[in-house]
Structure 1
Amino acid sequence: MSAVRLTAVVCTRDRPGLLARALESLVGQTVPPAEILVVDNAPGSGATLTLVAERFPSVRYLVEPVPGLDFARNHALESAAYEVLAFLDDDAVAAPGWAEALRRVFEDDPGVAVCTGRIEPLGVDTPGQRLFEANGGFSRGAERIRLPDDAGRPLHGRRAPLIAWAISVGCGCSYAVRRDAARALGGFDEALDLGPALPGGGDHDLLWRALRAGHAVVYEPSALAWHEHRREVAAACDQIVGHQRAVLAFLGKHLVSGSGGMRPALAGYTGWRLAKPGVRLMRRAIGQDPLPARVLLRMWWNCWLGLVTYPRARRLARARRERYAA
């Protein structure tokens, strides 16, 4: 079997300080990636270009003019030189063995199309960071998971449908794809991850489509990265609420587009996600939920808003693409 080669990718926008730290962690990998790409997404200045040119001359710098994370991810899919792309958020730091741990998954298991890594907090020094962790954070534990094989195991103490597993193990902060498989699936959905309008969902969506197409998905805990959570409570709450809105937009997309025989499970799980903030409000009333009641109410509203927002997001993404193509 020939060795699989890996391109590490950081998509970024006007955060050169954070980007420098992320790139230092990639340049310092125990087994360096075959290629490192920076995709500068709709930059407002030349600061990122200057940083890469002056401090990281071995890194390839690309510009994606259309605002939206999945536009940047798809640019990387089309531009990467090697078989596997490993995406690291610009506010994350990769452990020295991160890239090699991800690369080995694809080399050892040709059926894998997507692999996510373990994410732990870079720090829990502020109220916002502690609240984000108390709400669940990004960590998925130390046990390796291969889907769909392991979907029969309990998830959070109970049996769960495959769609729940897809959301649980999928996080774009540390996320690798087999290039040809991702391209064959149509790449990342550019109607997701549009910024404040819809701040997420593209990672879950590609992972779910990979599973539906018969590919395997792996959560590999030895591929460790650390994420810097929002420092302020308000910013942490915004991120938590925004993620819930994005998850429901992703679920709404697939409820409408259809998931074959999995539609009943998808509908049931979507109903649970819509009801969950209400359950959490009741728990909050007896002091058993970390989020303030006003945030849970906002989350509840945003879940319903997310469920119906995907058609509008598609129109917005199309308009952005057409505007920048003109």
Structure 2
Amino acid sequence: MSDALRLSVVVVSAGRPRALDRCLTAVSQMRTTRAEVIVVADSDGMAVARQHDYGARLTLLAQEGANISAARNIGIAAAAGEIVAFIDDDAVPEPDWAEAMLAGFENPAIAAATGPVIGRNGISLQWGRMAVDVQGQDRWLPAGDQIRPDEVPKLHGTNMAFRREILSRTGGFDTGFAFFLDETDLALRLGSAGFATAYLPGAVVHHGFAASARRTEDRVPLDLFDIGASSALFLRKHAPDSLAAGLARLEADQRTRLLRLARRRKLTAQDMRKLMESLRAGIADGGARQGSVSIVAPCRRSFQPLRDAMPPAMGFTNGWWFSAHHLRLQAEKRIADGQPTTVILLAPTPRKHRVEFTQGGWWEQRGGLFGPSDRAGARIQPWRYRARVAAEVARIFREMPIAF
């Protein structure tokens, strides 16, 4: 192995085997030979990972309880790469994600990095360049705006990476944060130790917000205990003088959120009451909870790259919506042959566009010929078919090689 940096990608998964399978398919299409993949999962996730086409190349580790920080630490301990990256099981990386992450760490001053997270429509930015303060309050950073003295760069949990040696020296994730604010706690610890974090625009992840034990598929909360517990611990740890004010703000913010959902008829009054009770129970628990950060031991296993050779250039096809069945069958065959593929389907309407990485393993964009893809564009746009396809190809693929 050369002196080139190597990436250990850690995927933590619980209760979402179907999402994990899709995530691993996307990860297997990354354009790199310098990445290994470590899956820390429950029994259902382990079964799916073993059966995956690249299952023999995965490092599979069992979760030890419902604690995302502990699971991430298990992944760090097994990471043989110089850089350790994290992506959620309900997210997928764009093909150049791994190499974009590694390129960012060519700067020896960088200890951690994060990148853009695309939302459910597959086009709009869900999270971008942001800052967060010691009270856990985050804000977007417009172009040219700088981090304030009381802030650090915000790390997006589904799209972040670290130098393993830094984690070995400063410790991994605090297991007091079973869910929520775990990455923000680590970002503040790294910042206070003087380590630099980079925002890498080319390291793009698409995040689906899949259903979990804490929320429904349409992001309606089912339980707020962990949010309350982690918030209380976080404020005690990083802003003890603002603990009461911070917890009051948390309750007010969550109540506003629930009222908004109730107005949309997503919650009943009884639902709201139970959720606020779970939040307060969590706050009480977090008020006494002790954090725990352990130094990460050196890895004793060999690096196991997911791929020995680059995948083929991205295949591309397009057509009208009535050809969808044929084009999807064609995409399915290409995927079976090991050919990454993107399908663009247009309809003669002004419908907005959506992009998704399908369960079958190909990227698919759907929308109207006259509708916007970028939501900042005009609601109705005058396009001819060929020009529209060319414009979308240029937007999607950027610098990635494609095969027509």
TM range (shorter): 0.5 to 0.7
Equivalence for 2:69: 70
Change in Cα spacing, 1:247 to 1:45, as seen in structure 2 (3 Å) is closer
- Quick check: 1:275 aligned with 2:252? yes
Coordinate RMSD, CA, aligned: 4.3
Equivalence for 2:127: 140
Structure 2, unpaired ranges of 5+: 292-404
SS in 1 for 2:202: strand
**Partner Cα distance (1:283, 1:239) in 2:** 11
Conservation of the 8 A alpha-carbon contact between 1:37 and 1:60: yes
Range with greater deviation from structure 2 (56-65 or 91-100): 56-65
CA drift at 1:29: 1.1
Equivalence for 1:95: 94
Conservation of the 8 A alpha-carbon contact between 1:146 and 1:217: no
**Partner Cα distance (1:154, 1:269) in 2:** 16
Normalised TM-score (structure 2): 0.56
**Partner Cα distance (1:312, 1:235) in 2:** 29
Equivalence for 2:189: 209
Output aligned runs, 1:3-22, within 5 Å: 3-13=4-14, 15-22=16-23
CA drift at 1:282: 7.6
**More contact order relative to length (CA 8 Å, sep ≥ 6):** 1
**Partner Cα distance (2:228, 2:60) in 1:** 34
**Partner Cα distance (1:263, 1:71) in 2:** 24
SS in 2 for 1:29: coil
SS in 2 for 1:308: helix
Output aligned runs, 1:74-223, within 5 Å: 74-113=73-112, 115-123=113-121, 139-141=126-128, 144=129, 155=140, 169-193=154-178, 199-223=179-203
Conservation of the 8 A alpha-carbon contact between 1:281 and 1:293: no
CA drift at 1:270: 4.5
**Counterpart of 1:139 in structure 2: which amino acid?**
Q
Equivalence for 1:29: 30
Q: Number of paired residues? A: 283
**Counterpart of 2:71 in structure 1: which amino acid?**
A
Q: Structure 1, residues 69-119: CA drift from partner, whole Å, max 9, x if none?
A: 222211111111011111111121110111122222222252433x22322
Conservation of the 8 A alpha-carbon contact between 1:154 and 1:160: no
Identity percentage of aligned residues: 25
**Partner Cα distance (2:37, 2:288) in 1:** 34
Normalised TM-score (structure 1): 0.67
Conservation of the 8 A alpha-carbon contact between 2:152 and 2:188: no
**Counterpart of 2:176 in structure 1: which amino acid?**
A
Structure 1, unpaired ranges of 5+: 125-136, 194-198, 316-326
SS in 2 for 1:139: strand
Q: Which has more radius of gyration?
A: 2
